[in-house]
Structure 1
Amino acid sequence: MGSLEDDQLVQMVRDFIESESPSPTNSTSSKCRALTHRTQCFMLQDILRSETRAEAKVRNYVLNLKRMRGRSDAKNPSRLRKWLVLRMKMDGLDASLCHTCWATSLGCPAGEYEYVEVNITEGENGSPERVIVDIDFRSQFELARPTQYYREMTESLPVIFVGTENKLSRIISLLCSAAKQSLREKGLHVPPWRTTSYMQSKWFSGRHHEEPCPQEQGVGTGERYGGVREAEGEDEIGEWVPPIVKPRKRDLGGGSGLSKQFSDLTINCC
């Protein structure tokens, strides 16, 4: 299902609800909401199931990095993203760390975000396809007091997102619309950081690329980088410890002839 068809279907459901009587019965209103939620869930599943060859290649690579789950810095998303980029580069992928930053605009507060970008070229004459990798994707759409339907939608999202800009844009549009309905059903206002413009800014605003430093992330092929060694397919992670300097033993006898003469020397003060 294309993006245009998705938007048209959501708009048709929304127009149907708004065209009802100003004071509909509770039964009719609940049925309309249920229809809207089911439609949104079906659309989300359809988007998540669709996958290009480039997306499949990157997704399989990320899922095969089982060591990523066992790293000691797994709870630090920033370090984990840098480590992932370095691992991809070592394996020949055109990966980079993207940092977005945007200024305050009408209805959209300023902010910044970070994710991984991979450019995949299929075939000799193929054009590169930009694939976005977000290792903390699901949490970006969570609400404090979600409805049951919205909770089901967010729980169906992958924790690690791998997809093109088109797929991500469709998910943002769908989830932001569902979040808006969820908040209204709870009698809450839509916060600026849950609007479509703000969410799109996280991945689509002006971005610059960073090159992670191997010395900081401990990625290598047997060499030691800042106290982290990676060899034989396993990581050994720890802080750098200076070498132990053993104190020299005092010469209590049996030293050189000159030292023995000094030790036997007597100083008379009077």
Structure 2
Amino acid sequence: MKFISWNVNGIRACLTKGFLNYFENVDADFFCIQETKCQDGQVHLDLEGYYQYWNYAQKKGYSGTAIFTKHKPMSVRYGVGEEVDEVEGRIITLEYDQFYLVNVYTPNSQRDLARLPYRLEWEEKIFDYLNELDKDKPVIYCGDLNVAHTEIDLKNAKSNVGNSGFTFEERGKMSELLSSGFTDTFRYKYPDKTDSYTWWSYMNKVRERNIGWRIDYFIVSDRLRNSINKVDIHSDVLGSDHCPILLEIELNS
């Protein structure tokens, strides 16, 4: 099965920059997007053969997630745990017979770290939520997780230590999750690969010079490791300040 995750940084803008061409060409079983930045009724996508699940933020033009899938889920959940009214539209969980798919847009702690406490609370809830799901069946967790986990996950590590997305606290939360029974699929396949990024600033020629961060992930339950066929970063695909990432894994829906 083929999974795609992409922070589109506004689906309406991305639609004018080739989104549908990429969507049709990649022909994924599951296509997860983050930062949709739209409300119900603002976008109509005619995606033949796909079920669509959207989680809109209450705030207009902000956050939001969606999943487009060829496979009808057993259940759909919006929110974390018992929280079904998640006002920023940051999470969707689809349940299938053999796995859970969790699509997330993790809160940014902001440049001045004003939102770091909220971010760390979110991380604790996600940790508990994913581990609870994992007790039932394997989990595929994906999205813009807004953290570069290790120094090889961003171009200028030394100058970014302590900055949003590369604080010791955020990186520590990722380490805790991975050590609790989850695998970063990209690092599993490419443990030492450098210059592999999924986000670049819009500043002049930053993307052309590949001065980026790897902050988009497919993370799976450890027991799915041997089912991973392919992991890729589609850095040549434009349309957002992020690029799509791919996971191919042997699963049945």
Same fold (TM over 0.5): no
TM-score by length of 2: 0.26
Query: As a proportion of its length, which structure holds more strand?
Result: 2
Q: What TM-score do the two structures reach when normalised by structure 1?
A: 0.24
Return the structure number with greater helix share: 1
